Structure 1
Amino acid sequence: MISLPKSPDGEQYEDAVASFIRAFGYFVESRLILHHEGREILELDVVSTPASEDFTAKTLVDAKSGGTGFADLFKIFGWRTFLDIPKGAIIRHQETPERDRTAFVRYEPDTQVSVLQFSLTDSDNVEAYFPPPFGVNDNLRKQLFISGWYAATAERICSKEYSKFKRDNPESELPMKIRKYDRACRVTFFEKDPLIRVQKLYAAFQKYPGLSGECIHWIAEKEGISYKDAQSKLFDTEGYPWAQQVMLTEHRARILIIKNAVESLDRYETSDIMDRLRLLVTPTNFQRSFEKIKKNHHRYKIPYLLHLMIEVFGGYYIDHDGFSADLEMISEASGIPMEDVIDCLSVLDDFFPTQNGWVVSIKGELNNIKFLPAVWRGIGCFTRQGYLFEDKYEEIAPSMSWLLSKYHNVAYKLLKPSLGVVE
């Protein structure tokens, strides 16, 4: 049996806060690190973006399980100002003493930084600070939070496995390529112009193309197996977590390109020639997709939909005769009407055309977004088990229950060493 911690601290607390905010209708970017000449000079815990027309109303969040001092208040104020983020929030597990609380309230209007308390038993002021852009029932919101937290824990495990992989293979170029690609994607956040972020995300992929495929080739060579069998290690088992994280990073980069396209929509309606030139130097396919997504009524929710699909829904939806509960769940969670969810997912095909499309139907029941690794498929199974049914996967996918059970077990096996409890 596995269980999330009842009193999270350190990294666990940061992950809990990020997952909680995401569950309330916010696109969440975590662990954003700015490097300069090999040195880490700035690290942000969480930046949230509402899935609404107020798309640029970001919040910088500092999440720590310890106490808070005035140095924290002005640190976040400085970072918020430097990054041109409208608001900041310091979220702590410990209750702020009355004397300090009065002072924090006094300086909140000047700094636009709030100090909030959050625990698993007291989340009221965080809920009030992050109002949901649309309605979601409490049970679903709770499951989004839980699954997101499991996913964040899985990612921490994958990161540690990458560090081990790097240490164990000092002669290989692959670990360094992975590190540089991940950093190149994360650092794009610190560009103030969303289209410059887009250009740099494309540039990162062009500099390190086909990194997932390179990981699979490495596994095949190491084990003396075929490419297909090596691929199966990532799509069907918990094996090589560091390579599974590479696949996740590539998916996140695609979603960030779409998110930054949406973020730039209003800005690039202006006649500013430099703004228009920045759009013209993006790839032609991006420009076409940019014009198309402008006309989509759900454009401000599409990045959040894709974010949820990858992080908590396992990159798949279940749709077959007489069963619509899965799409209803995804619809409610994303704020997009059920009849439009599949069309909104096709935005991936617009921005990143691939042979036969991004979504593959299996036996007319399970519809998978390509190239998501098995561990994150398993997180999606956790979501369904916690919200849609009480007993077996046959209840939601009669033909493909065996595959969902396999995915479930993959995520369970990866998480058990960290989250296992004595029954």
Structure 2
Amino acid sequence: MNRKVVELPDIPAAGEELEDYVAALFQASGHYVEKSIVGSDPADIFELDIVTTDYAHERPRRRLTEVKGGGWGYTDLFKVVGWMQYLKIQDGAFFITRWDDRGSAPGKMGPLGLEVVCFEDFKAAPEEFTERGFGTFATQELIELWRHSYGAERRFVKLLNKRAKKGDEGAKAAKAYHRQINNGTFLARAPEESLALLYEAYGEHPKLTRGYAQELDGDGFDPQSEASDSASYKAMLRGEYPELQACTYLEHRARLSILKAAVDYALAHPDGAPGVILEGKNWFFEGLTYHALPATFHDGMTWLREQPNFSRYATFWQQLLWGWGGFYLDDREEREFEWMSKYSGIPVDEIPEALEAFDRFFPIPGGWFVNAGPTDVRMVKMVPWIFQGIGAHHRRVQYGLDEQLNLAALNPSSQYTLSDLGKRINCAVNFLLGQP
């Protein structure tokens, strides 16, 4: 196996590295995380660094977080407070790396719901994060895992932007799709509006990856393409063509966003969707947007409401796709489900039901889970190899394997599992190192 490793700095640099570090603290402590959300109105454009949702409470608790490596002032703090009020988010956090002679900021901003936190010593940052009440970690190793995951996500987006500038129609469509699912639906006024926008975007790009593969083969881009004999598409299934892997990432991001909006809607309407009501002498039909959503969604909602811990399903699937690599090991199912339970807060005996969510909301022939050939890997279809590689590395951490990156200690029941995981790790490492 290739022994190259991707090392992260103990002290993250300002900008994206620092944002990823703070987001990783929230993700590793069980929050649902949304990042780099760009909004606009006719007069201005704004960007939100991090928005987190904690589903561990009776009602979801959202927090808006801004991260600054330096050069901050009270104008920045009040700007975040303004965003909180506009978005109706009660909790806010402002993370910095130095005080800049403004040590009184926490006392001034606290009454406004904004906590100001300075990480002067990053070795103590996780402990301070917990002491301040933001969250606790099942294991601190997850922080590094999520920093790698965010790095892959950022590289995917940058790669698509680069290919779009070169004129690839598939990349242009993917770039627009990313804006829709990452930014366009966030500012929706209600979960049902968000769902409608998500399904609209989802319907416009039913075969994004296949269509782009067709273009890379030399034919025109066709987002409705059903072609399964594409050479580049088949190569993507072997870990090549990161631009196509980026498209499969976006397709799963859209599904995950729909699942989150479904959870939010079910929590906002615990007694079911609103319908026809009488107010005075007039009849009103509430929830028209909701009732117009696809039948598969309504079937999924009926199933979702029956699950005791459905409020944690979006967080669980975010962890599954981008942290666990979209797979679990069949021969170690009991152990892996225990860890999934520990990280997500879903009781271990309910993990099999949580794994059904994509099948319930997005049914496809044969279901979403398949075995990766003659191996012990039971995986969600179409999860990018690069994220599967991060998930394979996650197993090295989980099972406490040696520092030489050895997987053999897993002693899998299938002789092909180790080489399968190793190939995916190499794919992820090469991508993160910027190598072909």
TM score, norm. by length of structure 2: 0.86
Deviations 1:252-276 (A, max 9, x none): 1111111111111232246575543
Evaluate the alpha carbon distance shift between residue 218 and residue 69 of structure 1 in structure 2; reply closer, same or farther with a 3 A threshold: same
Structure 1 residue runs of 4+, over 4 Å off? Answer: 270-275
Deviations 1:128-172 (A, max 9, x none): 34544xx753xxx32221111001112222222223212222xx4
- Rounded Cα–Cα distance in structure 2 between residues aligned with 1:128 and 1:406: 40
Number of the residue aligned with 2:176: 180
Number of the residue aligned with 1:421: none
Task: Extract unaligned runs of 5+ from structure 1.
Answer: 419-423
Number of the residue aligned with 1:386: 397
Within a 5 Å distance, the mapping from 1:184-199 to structure 2 comes to 184-186=180-182, 187-199=184-196
Counterpart check, 1:79 vs 2:46:
no
Number of the residue aligned with 2:378: 367
Number of the residue aligned with 1:354: 364
Evaluate the alpha carbon distance shift between residue 247 and residue 295 of structure 1 in structure 2; reply closer, same or farther with a 3 A threshold: same
Number of the residue aligned with 1:4: 8
1:333 to 318, 343, 348: 343
Structure 2 SS opposite 1:314: coil
- Rounded Cα–Cα distance in structure 2 between residues aligned with 1:368 and 1:177: 27
Structure 1 SS opposite 2:433: helix
Please give the root-mean-square deviation of Cα atoms over the aligned residues, in Å.
2.4
Number of the residue aligned with 2:152: 154
The answer to whether the 8 Å contact 2:196/2:290 transfers is no
How far does residue 277 in structure 1 lie from its aligned partner after superposition? 2.6
How far does residue 101 in structure 1 lie from its aligned partner after superposition? 2.8
- Rounded Cα–Cα distance in structure 1 between residues aligned with 2:74 and 2:419: 54
- Rounded Cα–Cα distance in structure 2 between residues aligned with 1:57 and 1:394: 42
The answer to whether the 8 Å contact 1:49/1:56 transfers is yes
Within a 5 Å distance, the mapping from 1:6-405 to structure 2 comes to 6-9=10-13, 10-35=15-40, 41-95=45-99, 97=101, 100-109=102-111, 111-118=112-119, 120-123=122-125, 124-132=127-135, 137=138, 141-169=139-167, 172-186=168-182, 187-221=184-218, 227=229, 229-237=231-239, 239-269=240-270, 273=276, 275-320=286-331, 324-362=334-372, 363=374, 365-391=376-402, 392-396=406-410, 397-399=412-414, 400-405=417-422
Task: Extract unaligned runs of 5+ from structure 2.
Answer: 220-226, 277-284
Structure 2 SS opposite 1:29: strand
Deviations 1:358-405 (A, max 9, x none): 111244721100111111100101111122141433433342111001
- Rounded Cα–Cα distance in structure 2 between residues aligned with 1:395 and 1:232: 31
Deviations 1:284-304 (A, max 9, x none): 111121122112111111111
Deviations 1:79-100 (A, max 9, x none): 1111111211111122463xx2
Structure 2 SS opposite 1:62: strand
Moved more, 152-161 or 246-255: 152-161
The answer to whether the 8 Å contact 1:55/1:300 transfers is no
Evaluate the alpha carbon distance shift between residue 54 and residue 75 of structure 1 in structure 2; reply closer, same or farther with a 3 A threshold: farther
Identity rate, percent: 25
How far does residue 56 in structure 1 lie from its aligned partner after superposition? 2.9
The answer to whether the 8 Å contact 1:313/1:380 transfers is yes
Amino acid at match of 1:310: L
- Rounded Cα–Cα distance in structure 1 between residues aligned with 2:33 and 2:107: 26
Amino acid at match of 1:184: Q
- Rounded Cα–Cα distance in structure 2 between residues aligned with 1:357 and 1:259: 20
- Rounded Cα–Cα distance in structure 2 between residues aligned with 1:40 and 1:231: 40
